[in-house]
Amino acid sequence: MRDQTYQQRGAPAAVVTNASTARSTMSENETATQLVRIWQELLGVEAITLDQNYFDLGGDSSLAVRLFVRIEAVFHVKLPLATLYEAPTIEELARVIRSAASPSSQSKPFWSSLVPFSTEGTRQPLFLMHSHGGNVLEYRALVQRLGKERPLYGLQARGLDGNLLPESRIEEMASHYLREMRSVQPHGPYYLGGFCFGGFLALEAAQQLRAQNEDVPLVIMINAATKSFHYPPSTGRARRILYSMSDRFGLEFDNLSRKPSGMMFTHLLARGRRLRDVVQSRAEMLFDKLHRNRDVRNHSMIYHLERLAMLNDHAWEIYDPKQYEGNVLLLYAGRQPVGIPRDPKLGWNGLLTGEFQTQEVPGFRQNMLDEPSVEALAVAIMHAIHHCEAKET
């Protein structure tokens, strides 16, 4: 059985994957030196100081997966990606690693989905639910744009600690996240939001809160499309594949064009590694399926993230959203999938029967949370929340 270490509520939890190795003494300099080498390799940057921010050096949420896989391999400590919110520099990250591997930190068996992005501000908090990948690191650029006028929290998925549930439903997930939210905000008004799958979680959480007579002034759904937003039935399989390839090519070209010239090669290399990791993880899943009694707990973070995404996709498939009469802001990507009839409501017409607003955001669905699209996204969110607060007063 793996030893586990955890930090205080709201902070990312760590899992020690090989306690005997992780507990061996490693000095502060040794830890930092190892991290510098890892960052140099992944980021393609030679000169790195201990106080430089991972994101300022060109790191993103996709590359962070590779970073934490390497941390797990070198230090035998499994950390959630959200650790980069509290420890974005080598100096801070080295401190977290040493703390997680210390025998004295083994006595707090607690995992929290609640991740405090920022606890500053006097206005009501905004809670952002994870998308189908489960982690909340993708909200970093949005959090920076939203400023510090209100506390901002993320809800990361259970299972990021390696303890995947066999199956979850959106209703049950939302109920669990509400219990964690109430640890910092016992009563409304609640402002909820989420990207893609997270939009469904936010909507379901709002349904449950309203059923408990709590006030939910606004639900923010970021390109959360229903199952009805799909290719017409007459679209054949070959044409769907062609459309999908066209979308993927356009997305990759758009992402590459956003990178500084010096980062383009690193980005392409990271995308190649990502493809390799996905193929390897799917092969491992197939092997596990053929060997049902095999212990899968010690797989890598990439494996667990892929499995978690698949479980969340299944939860979305079986979810039947009910009619909602509250206030909803739906932000949709300007570059919608080729071959699907354009619908700014993304299939929600008839289900969202309250005050329902839609607004277009430049870019593809997959990079709405990245610069430069995230600026328009943040402005729309802040304007909508301020409008609701003005009505409340």
CATH 1.10.1200.10 fits 3-105, yes or no: yes
Residue 282 is predicted with a pLDDT of 66
In 3D space, the residue among 126, 135, 113, 157 whose CA is nearest the CA of residue 329 turns out to be: 126
What pTM does this model have? 0.81
3-105 shares its CATH topology with 114-229+317-392: no
Residue 266 is predicted with a pLDDT of 60
Fold adopted by 114-229+317-392? Rossmann fold (3.40.50)
Residue 21 is predicted with a pLDDT of 40
Query: Where is 304: in which H helix or E strand?
Result: helix 301-318
Residues 6 or more apart whose CB falls under 8 angstroms from that of 143 comprise 117, 118, 152
The Cα-based distances of 167 to 60, 173, 310, 315, 318 in angstroms read 29, 11, 10, 8, 11
**Cβ pair 328, 209 in contact under 8 A:** no
Residue 25 is predicted with a pLDDT of 43
Where does residue 145 rank: exposed (0-12), middle (13-18), buried (19+ CB within 10 A)? Answer: middle
- Torsion angles phi and psi, residue 138, rounded to 5: -65, -15
**Cβ pair 217, 189 in contact under 8 A:** yes
Residues 6 or more apart whose CB falls under 8 angstroms from that of 226 comprise 321, 346, 347, 348, 351
**Cβ pair 197, 224 in contact under 8 A:** yes
CA atoms within 13 A on the CB side of 127: 30
Residue 81 is predicted with a pLDDT of 84
Which regions of the chain are under pLDDT 50? 1-12, 14-25, 107-109
Residue 10 is predicted with a pLDDT of 44
In 3D space, the residue among 55, 151, 42, 86 whose CA is nearest the CA of residue 374 turns out to be: 55
Residue 60 is predicted with a pLDDT of 80
Side chain identity, residue 217: P
Residue 75 is predicted with a pLDDT of 86
Residue 66 is predicted with a pLDDT of 82
Pair of tokens at residue 183: 């640890």
Residue 152 is predicted with a pLDDT of 96
Map out the domains of the chain as residue ranges.
3-105, 114-229+317-392, 237-297
Residue 267 is predicted with a pLDDT of 57
